[in-house]
Structure 1
Amino acid sequence: MGVKIANIDVGDFPLLLAPMEDVSDPPFRALCNEQGADLLYTEFISSEGLIRDAAKSVQKLDIYEYERPVGIQIFGSEIDSMRQAARVVEKTNPDILDINYGCPVKKVACKGAGAGILKDIPKMVDLTKKIVDEVNLPVTVKTRLGWDENSKYIVEVAERLQDVGIKAISIHGRTRRQMYKGEADWSLIADVKNNPRMNIPVFGNGDIDSPQKAVEYKNRYGVDGIMIGRASIGYPWIFREIKHYIATGEILPPPTIEERVKVAREHLDMSVKWKGTHTGIVEMRRHYGNYFKGYSHFKPFRTKLVTSDDLDELQQTFDQILESYSSDEPAFA
Structure 2
Amino acid sequence: MSPLDVVRVHPLCAETPVAALQCATTPAESVYIRSNFETPDAHDAWTVRVTGVVQRPISLTLADIAGLPQRSVHVTMECAGNWRLGMDPVPEGEPWRYGAVSTTTWSGVSLSGLLELAGVPPDAREVVAVGADAGPRSDAAGIVRFERSLPIDVAMHPDTLIATHMDGARLTPDHGAPLRVIVPGWYGMASVKWLAGLEVRTEPFTGYFQRQRYVYHTGAGTIPVTRALVKSMIVSPLPGANCPTDADIRGWAWSGHGAITQVDVAVNDAWHRAALGVPASPYAWTPFSLRTQLPSGDVMLRSRATDASGAVQPDVIEWNSLGYGNNAVRAIPVRVVGASLPAADA
Give TM-score, length-normalised by structure 2. Answer: 0.24
Q: Which has the larger radius of gyration?
A: 2
